[in-house]
Amino acid sequence: MKLTHAAAFLMMASVAASGCGAHGEGLEEEAMQAEGKTSAADRRPLTSEEERIIVRKGTEPPFSGEYDKFSGDGTYLCRRCGAPLYRSNDKFDSGSGWPSFDDEIEGAVRRAPDGDRVEITCARCGGHLGHVFEGEDFTPKGVRHCVNSLSLDFEPAEKKEEEAKKESAVLHKAHFAGGCFWGVEHLMKERKGVVATSVGYMGGRTESPTYEEVCSGETGHIEAVEVEYDESKVSYEELARLFFEIHDPTQAGRQGPDVGEQYKSAVFYADDSQKRVAEKLIALLREKGYGVATELREAEKFWPAEDYHQDYYDKTGKNPYCHAYTKRF
């Protein structure tokens, strides 16, 4: 017989101390490890309250959990090990005060007798989820997985789609130096097909240089930008053309007001194909009358700069002061 929301709440509230999660203090962590399929190193750190629920088999108060009324599109994961457990289209509002699902991802949930109820745990790590009830007729499937929000994480469908696209993309890297790396990165990352950017140092004599060391001129490094791009959306030549149009390739040892060897114009090529593209573009610019000072160098180790340099203009809300687009081709 189907319970009304009020009746369901009264029933669940009456067992709140044991509710959909309680089982006394439950197994110790060592026993949980023996039960599950993950090592301690594979598990995420838990707060004391999460440990009370997931490890000690406690329960959270009804209507208090993050995912009780949550209705996002995606996948619910085990909070402790990240294993996928439930799909959002199997979630429903039972009125009980805890997230409810009428189905699980195949093989993701383990069931075990718990007195007159049935406990559910993550099949991968053994973490406690809650209890499963049958025959209540909330949905046509007649099953209700009553789960603690603190046992769950949520992965939006959009994130999964973006990760899948990135995995299927043909990704390559390019390295350019054109003065202050803040401005070069800012304008490069706006180009469609650029997946990620990072600012750093290349071409020097020392390992793991700091910004202060590079600025001293003693290390020989140049401020550079690493560009990761999807070749199905933008070619290396398109990025190289953009590079030559967002800085002044005729300046040597400087870029606008920034003076010093670290501000040289350079293309660090990864292979002969990238080198040929850069040589072709430099030749075209020289035919147009530009006295190109850009150096061509074989790519060496790229040393990422300090965190405060990364995405500088996004963080500060400012605009590049010595880089702007100028059509040259």
Helices (H), 105-254: 157-168, 181-188, 211-216, 236-246
Contacts 24+ apart (CB under 8 A), 5-9: 5/94, 5/95, 6/95, 8/94, 8/95, 8/96, 9/62, 9/95, 9/96, 9/97
Strand 194-202 versus strand 222-230 pairing type: antiparallel
Q: How far apart are CA 148 and CA 64, in angstroms?
A: 10
DSSP 312: H
Active-site residue, 122 included: no
User: Of 122, 125, 146, 322, which one is the catalytic site residue?
Assistant: 146
Q: How far apart are CA 286 and CA 266, in angstroms?
A: 16
Inter-residue contact 8 to 41 (CB < 8 Å): no
User: Of 122, 180, 215, 322, which one is the catalytic site residue?
Assistant: 180
Bridge partners, residue 78, by sequence: 152
Q: How far apart are CA 278 and CA 268, in angstroms?
A: 9
Nearest 5°: the CA angle 295, 301, 303 is 100
User: Cα torsion at 229, 232, 235, 239 (round to 10°)?
Assistant: -40
- Nearest of 36, 30, 100 to residue 65 by alpha carbon: 100
Active-site residue, 146 included: yes
DSSP, collapsed to helix, strand or coil, labels residue 201 as: strand
Q: How far apart are CA 3 and CA 5, in angstroms?
A: 6
- Nearest of 15, 109, 7, 24 to residue 62 by alpha carbon: 15
DSSP, collapsed to helix, strand or coil, labels residue 129 as: strand
Nearest 5°: the CA angle 93, 96, 98 is 75
Secondary element (H or E) of residue 30: helix 29-35
Catalytic residues: 146, 180
